[in-house]
Each structure stands twice: as C-alpha cells, then as structure tokens.
A = this chain, B = another copy of it.
Amino acid sequence: MSAVKKILIADDEPDILEILQFNLQKEGYNVITAKNGDEAIEQAKKHQPDLIILDIMMPGKNGIEVCNILRQQPAFYATLIIFLSAISDEGTEVWGLETGADDYVTKPITPKVLVSKVNALFRRLTKGETAIIQIGDLKIDREKYIMNYQGNDIILARKEFELLALLASKPGKVFLRNEILNQVWGTEVIVGDRTIDVHIRKIRQKLGLDCITTVKGVGYKFEL
C-alpha cells in the first residue's frame, strides 16, 4: 500500500463520471474512468486500481456482472468495490453486497458523501499499521507501550508512560494539573498534589532530556 491510491470509476452518465472524478482528484486520488462494463474490466486489468466504483446500470455488462468477473480473478480478490445505483431496491442492494462489494451507495448522492465513504474505506484498509506519535527524535508507540528516543528504547512504568503520552499528544499545550489528574488517574481516584511532580521528575530523569516545561501555577507542557 503505497502513496497515491488509484480509483476506477465506471458509469455511463458523463456528468456523474466527471463530477466524481473531479471531487476524488481534488482529494488527491488518481482517477481512471470507464463508460461501460467492458471498458471497466479492461481498465481494471490495465491499471490494477485500489478501488473500483461501479454503476450498476450500464450498457453492455452491468456493474454486478463486472464485479463477479473481476472477483473471480485472484488479482482482484482484495480490491475494494463500491456499487453505485439509482435503484434503492432492497433485493438489489443485498445482492450487490453479498456479491462481494464493500459498499453500496444509492443515487442521488452528493460528491462529499461519496468522498467520505471512499476515505473511510481506505482508512479501514490501512488500519493495523500501528499508530505512533512522533515528535522529533521521540517516538511513542501506544500499542507497543514503548518510547524511543534517538534509537534507544526507554522503559517507562504505566503512569509515567500515560502521563508523557498525554503531554506529548499535544506538544506545546499546557496541561493543567486537574486535566492531568482526570486523564491519567481518572475522576474516581484522588491523589495528593505532589504525586504528579514525582512522576514528572521520574520521566525527566529517565528521558535524560529537558522536554517537559513547568508553567508555574498552571501546569506542565511538552516541548522538544
């Protein structure tokens, strides 16, 4: 999964084709178009798009047929497919989805909504790759529970990790002591005021790096 996603749109109405193409390109996608089913198959084979948007009603092969044909080939086993249709007939929609489509969108549809759906699909696809916060040389991996500074892993205890992760989630922002207590300790638990300081100190010590600034009378902020 690399940089620019390729999207193939197949629809027999030039207007729709154009407006969708325009909007998707504006989002940074690489758009290919086709005017009918056969052309869609041809283009799909040629470009191997990441996503195919198929109008159901098209001259020649209709969208569902195209989907079936493509899905039979290993190369398109995992390709995203969205059906586009004027029919809001329940049976067709269910059929479309069971055929192996990833979404089914009924016309009339606004470009914005379609773009959102497309984004959502790609977002889902890319998930699973870990979400790490990266600030300068400091990497914070919430999933692996690891901090890494200039290549060296830093082991922090739970509270320390959560505290630093909170501060680093918005570099520059000053977190009030109350805010910190609520986020890290929760509203139930009540702990003394010095507790935060002590943890801050331990973090500073373990990081050996002056990235947490004290704002007297207010709170703390993270800044590299």
Contact = CB atoms under 8 A, between A and B. Distances in A.
Contacts of A97: 113, 116-117, 119-120
Contacts of A123: 100
Interface residues of A, number: 46
A188 to B, nearest CB: 14
Given A110-B90, A116-B97, A120-B97, A145 B103 contact: no
A72 B177 CA distance: 21
B128 A78 contact: yes
A141 B174 CA distance: 10
Nearest to A116: B97
A124 B144 contact: no
Copies in the complex: 2
A123 B84 CA distance: 19
Interface stretch (A28-36, A38-46, A56-64, A216-224): A216-224
Contact of A221 (B93, B94, B98, B144): B144
10 contacts: A74-B131, A78-B128, A90-B110, A90-B113, A97-B117, A97-B119, A143-B173, A143-B174, A144-B173, A157-B217
Interface of A: 74, 77-78, 80, 90, 93-94, 97-98, 100-104, 110, 112-113, 116-117, 119-121, 123-125, 127-128, 130-131, 141-146, 157-158, 170, 172-174, 215-218, 221
